[in-house]
Amino acid sequence: MAKEPRATASGTRNQESLKQKERALLSSARQASGQTTTPSLVHEVTPDAGLLDTAAATLRMLAEPTRLHLLWQLTTGPKSVTELTELADVPRTVVSQHLAKLRLSGLVDTRKEGRHVIYSLHDGHLVRLIRETLNHADHQLTGEPFHE
């Protein structure tokens, strides 16, 4: 089983900086080509190998119960490490390690408020994905009929 990359402060900053530059370039390219900058809920795409790999990486990050619980907590809005620790009922070090992995994978964003780091989900697609994943699991466990 492959080990997940370990987060380092300088590596994290470099990756986040590259991701921000990448997003800015993509946004500029879309504007230059006349594509709309209004976000859409549905993207009609034919998945290629790169898209499938990226989607699988996202799903792997959701495949750990503590991480999924932290992400679910963030579906209601931004939270500090202290709030997430209390809500998840696991040690702060465990929460911090999972948040570092989520940050490196680009699933969560951070901002500073004084001495506190506030975490939030990167976008609405993740909010919907997490909620639908848990709703699907609820149907499986309760036997409630599946629906469209």
Q: Phi/psi of residue 52, each to 5°? A: -65, -40
Q: Per-residue pLDDT tens for 98-116?
A: 999 999 999 999 999 999 9
**Of 27-31, 47-51, 52-56, where does mean pLDDT reach its minimum?**
27-31
Answer whether 88's CB lies under 8 Å from 73's CB.
yes
Residue ranges in the chain assigned as alpha helix (H): 9-32, 49-62, 65-74, 81-88, 92-104, 124-142
Mean pLDDT value of segment 126-141: 94
| Other CB atoms within 10 Å distance of the CB of residue 7 | 17
Position 103 scores a pLDDT of 96
Q: Per-residue pLDDT tens for 117-127?
A: 999 999 999 99
Which candidate, 28, 42, 15, 14, places its Cα nearest to that of 106? 15
Position 72 scores a pLDDT of 97
Residues in CB range of 59: below 8 A, 6 or more apart: none
Instruction: Decide if pLDDT at 66 tops 70.
Output: yes
Q: Per-residue pLDDT tens for 74-101?
A: 999 999 999 999 999 999 999 999 999 9
Instruction: Decide if pLDDT at 54 tops 80.
Output: yes
- Domain map of the chain by residue range? 65-140
Instruction: Decide if pLDDT at 145 tops 90.
Output: no
CATH number of 65-140: 1.10.10.10
